[in-house]
Amino acid sequence: MKSIVLSLSSVATALAVAMPVEPPACYHLNLLLAEEGDQQYWLLTEDNLPPGNQERASEIISKQQLARRDNPVCSGSHQASTGDCSSLLAAISNDLSDLPVSPQDIRYNNCYVSWSKPVDTDGAVVAHLYNAALAIYNTCNSNNKVSGLKKNVNLKASTY
């Protein structure tokens, strides 16, 4: 079994993630490929955000879910602002675009979601990152900042 680490964190400051009050209808983000070589990443800009992207924190993890062995692991470093991560999480929540093979992260301002290993993209879409990202937010949110990672993320039929 492949192992993938899904991490939500920041380039410079803090990570936080929240979901919109009403998730928008399914859509495809128009991500931009930024930088060159090993520094490349998928960039989400203000122009790419879905309409009505108003965010609020959502605490939807149950105590049973928190008891699972593959819980998110929180980090005190690489944290991003709650606003940036709320927008990123809301944007990826219903994105039906194929999950990019490379580079392996999507950023909005100082917040990003990344995966550690290449993913077999047959049927894997960006929206499949959402539940793991939300779990990181719900578990690791502190003082309006979040950073963490989650292992063994299920993307489509495979666990990475």
pTM: 0.63
> What does the pLDDT read at residue 11?
40
Q: Name the pLDDT band for 140 (thresholds 50, 70, 90).
A: confident
> What does the pLDDT read at residue 141?
84
Q: Name the pLDDT band for 159 (thresholds 50, 70, 90).
A: very low
Which two tokens mark 60?
């939807």
Which two tokens mark 9?
């964190």
Q: Where do we find the tokens 């380039």?
A: 11
> What does the pLDDT read at residue 2?
40
Over residues 98-117, the mean pLDDT reads: 87
Q: Nearest to residue 92, comparing CAs of 62, 59, 60, 137?
A: 137
Distance CA 32, CA 92 (A): 14
Q: Nearest to residue 72, comparing CAs of 125, 29, 116, 135?
A: 135
> What does the pLDDT read at residue 18?
40
* pLDDT tens for each residue of 22-78: 445 666 777 777 888 877 777 777 776 766 654 443 444 454 555 455 788 888 888
Pairing state between β 154-155 and 158-159: antiparallel
> What does the pLDDT read at residue 92?
92
User: Mean pLDDT of all residues in the chain?
Assistant: 72
Between 80 and 49, the more confident residue is 80
Between 54 and 144, the more confident residue is 144
